[in-house]
Amino acid sequence: MNDQPANLTDRETNQFFEARKKVFPRRIDGSFRRLKWVIMVVTLAIYYVTPWLRWDRGPYAPDQAVLVDLANRRFYMFSIEIWPHEFYYVAGLLIMAAIGLFVVTSAVGRAWCGYACPQTVWTDLFMHIERFVDGGRREQYKLDDAPWGPKKVAKRLTKWTLWLLVAIATGGAWVFYFADAPMLARELFSGTAPQTAYFSIFILTMTTFIFGGFMREQVCIYMCPWPRIQTALMDDQSLQVTYKHWRGEPRTRGIKRAKAMQAEEVDASSLLPPGDCIDCKACIAVCPTGIDIREGPQIGCITCALCIDACDEVMRRIDRPEKLIGYTTVEDEKLAMAGKVPEPPLKRLLRPRTLIYFAIWAGIGLAMLFVLGNRSRLDIDAGQIRNPLAITLSDGDIRNGYVIKLRNMEQRPRDFVVTVEGIEQAELWTDLQSRAEATRQIRFEVPADSVARRTLYLAAPAEGPERSDILFTVTALDDETATASAPTNFNRTGN
């Protein structure tokens, strides 16, 4: 099937599009296949189970361990709670995720694509379902070519139903990250869940169904931008799946043919000794993207290493050393061709490029941990009312107004006292009081996990500088060390 140049037939029949060539990879077993199984189980388990983990935060906060609470604008992750004004933590996590991919890619190539990418994981799962329903590679091709009949319809319907179930479970799990999972689950089944929940499930179900079931490698090759970026992150010392053509070429045809060629006693000087590749095409048959790795590195290869498993099996059978196809670097490949010993893997991993990426990644992580560990769960903002700026009172004093925001990020209601520094004889009162009740400090109770917004008035004698720097300070009554402050001004002129 791969004898034809890739695009020729379509080119001749139709100028405008290329029909997708269906890929039905053969089942294979081997060390990399088993690694893929483990990663699939672990990642899927994390995805499906996480929303159901509980985490006790007291009576004023949800008890879901990981929760993106859009309505109340909170992000909970185990013991960490993120407020909207702390969104830089989330930004930091996203940056770390990106740089983490840089680290991995520069060290071990497209490992993300081959093992952990959701597109890969779900496609893999869908392929297993397909094999379970339709049978092995040969049967799949036969069934695909067969005309529609009762048997084909039955098999297709079974397969699609199974796919759809997986897809619904996938889309369904996603919404649980955004609401209390047990409650939402009950609402979903009783039909009372919010519209957005059903809509999100529908969209994610359809994308999973179509991407995992039908588009598969087309997503990787045509839609995903990541392979193009990865190319720039890799160099001659990054690991990639490579066919060692110096060992494999020239190919022979089957085991017998190889033996026969040796027996023919041809002129050894005119012919290269036969290579290890017996051109059995096992590596092509198992490839989920349907490419021939022997053509060299290419964008279609997601480095899933299934071809390594396949070829190793063949090599074991014909009694040749394994790893005719293997993980190696371009540099090692050059050394091996020259008959030298490849560098130790550790030396390949620890090189300036990977170390710099790692240092940046770890630096951001440590900085975030440090800030997170030292962050205060109390915050004050003081915004001066500028229209009007300064008001003359009947006794000649000057009054300024401020809008104070107190953020109590603890999971309990707290009493706070707000004071002002930087101005003598300051009198403070709120917009719900009169000046007769003015004091030097104002007490507020702020409910658990919320922001209190209050207007404060500050009066002081007219004599003094036109503009003084002042500082509003908030202190918790139950813990004097819990304090925060916000600088602003007191203006004696201006309107």
Which residues contact another protein by CB under 8 A? 5-8, 10-11, 14-20, 215, 218, 222, 385-388, 391-396, 399, 401, 429, 431-432, 434-437, 455, 457, 495
Tell me: does residue 307 bind ligand SF4 (CB under 6 A): yes
Expressed in angstroms, the distance from the first to the final Cα of the chain is 83
Are 171 and 202 in contact, with CB atoms under 8 Å apart?
yes
Closest CA to 407 of 384, 388, 379: 379
User: Which of 23, 173, 193, 302 is the binder for ligand SF4 (CB under 6 A)?
Assistant: 302
User: Any bridge partners for residue 487, and if so which?
Assistant: 471
Q: Which is nearer to another protein, 262 or 450 (CB)?
A: 450
Tell me: does residue 111 bind ligand SF4 (CB under 6 A): no
Q: Measured between alpha carbons, how far is 210 from 123 in angstroms, rounded to an integer?
A: 10
Tell me: does residue 305 bind ligand SF4 (CB under 6 A): yes
Q: How far is the CB of 433 from another protein (least distance, A)?
A: 8
User: Which of 257, 281, 323, 399 is the binder for ligand SF4 (CB under 6 A)?
Assistant: 281
Tell me: does residue 103 bind ligand SF4 (CB under 6 A): no
Q: Measured between alpha carbons, how far is 138 from 146 in angstroms, rounded to an integer?
A: 12
The alpha carbon of 372 is separated from its chain's Cα centroid by a whole number of angstroms, namely 21
Stretch that binds ligand SF4, among 135-143, 279-287, 331-339, 466-474 (CB under 6 A): 279-287
Q: How far is the CB of 319 from another protein (least distance, A)?
A: 33
Q: How far is the CB of 100 from ligand SF4 (least distance, A)?
A: 22
Site string for ligand SF4, 25-54 (x = CB under 6 A): ------------------------------
Q: Measured between alpha carbons, how far is 217 from 294 in angstroms, rounded to an integer?
A: 18
Stretch that binds ligand SF4, among 53-61, 208-216, 300-308, 409-417 (CB under 6 A): 300-308
DSSP 148-198: P-HHHHHHHHHHHHHHHHHHHHHHHHHHGGGS-HHHHHHHHHHT-S-HHHH
User: Any bridge partners for residue 328, and if so which?
Assistant: 240
Q: How far is the CB of 7 from another protein (least distance, A)?
A: 5
Give me 8's structure tokens: 């020729």
Tell me: does residue 278 bind ligand SF4 (CB under 6 A): yes
Tell me: does residue 287 bind ligand SF4 (CB under 6 A): yes
User: Which of 104, 310, 442, 460 is the binder for ligand SF4 (CB under 6 A)?
Assistant: 310
Q: Measured between alpha carbons, how far is 13 from 4 in angstroms, rounded to an integer?
A: 14
Q: Which is nearer to another protein, 200 or 218 (CB)?
A: 218
E strands within 280-413?
325-328, 378-384, 391-392, 398-408
Applying the rule CB under 6 A, the residues between 318 and 347 that interact with ligand SF4 are 324-325
Q: How far is the CB of 438 from another protein (least distance, A)?
A: 11
User: Which of 103, 201, 258, 280 is the binder for ligand SF4 (CB under 6 A)?
Assistant: 280
Are 429 and 456 in contact, with CB atoms under 8 Å apart?
yes
Q: Which is nearer to ligand SF4, 247 or 377 (CB)?
A: 247
Q: Which is nearer to another protein, 347 or 386 (CB)?
A: 386
Burial tier of 138 (Cβ tally within 10 Å: 0-12, 13-18, 19+): exposed
Q: How far is the CB of 94 from another protein (least distance, A)?
A: 29
Sign of CA dihedral 221, 225, 226, 228: positive
Distances in Å between the Cα of 412 and the Cα atoms of 74, 77, 380 are: 16, 19, 17
Q: Report what 307 binds from another protein, ligand SF4, none; CB cut-off 5-8 Å by kind.
A: ligand SF4
| Contacts (Cβ under 8 Å, ≥6 apart) of 122 | 166, 170, 208, 211, 212
Applying the rule CB under 6 A, the residues between 194 and 253 that interact with ligand SF4 are 241, 243, 248
Q: Which is nearer to another protein, 224 or 368 (CB)?
A: 224
Q: Report what 215 binds from ligand SF4, another protein, none; CB cut-off 5-8 Å by kind.
A: another protein
Q: How far is the CB of 96 from another protein (least distance, A)?
A: 33
Closest CA to 358 of 172, 169, 102, 154: 102
Q: Which residues bind ligand SF4 (CB under 6 A)?
A: 241, 243, 248, 277-283, 286-287, 289, 291, 293-294, 301-307, 310-311, 314, 324-325
